[in-house]
Amino acid sequence: TLQAMIDTLAYADRILAEDALANAVAATGDPHKIAQAQRELAKAADELTSGSFDHAIEHYSKAWKKAERATH
């Protein structure tokens, strides 16, 4: 179903963002950018809870980008 596909995409985005964040933390990246990434992950979780999957995916994307920038 469509909902199953949306759930799969959201799950994959979450895993990518969390992995990038874990790598940034392990590399002792920029703490400010790490904190921003953590906030984006929290926002994504809130959006998922409220059923706003498109917004959740946007927040996962932002979290991933911020975590990636934390180590560069």
Per the document, the length of the chain is: 72
d(CA 67, CA 61): 10
**Is residue 1's pLDDT more than 90?**
no
Tens of pLDDT, residues 14-44: 999 999 999 999 999 999 999 999 999 999 9
Report the pLDDT value the prediction gives residue 72, as an integer from 0 to 100. Answer: 84
Task: Give CA separation, 37 vs 4, 9, 45, 57, 58, in Å.
Answer: 26, 19, 13, 13, 12
**Is residue 67's pLDDT more than 90?**
yes
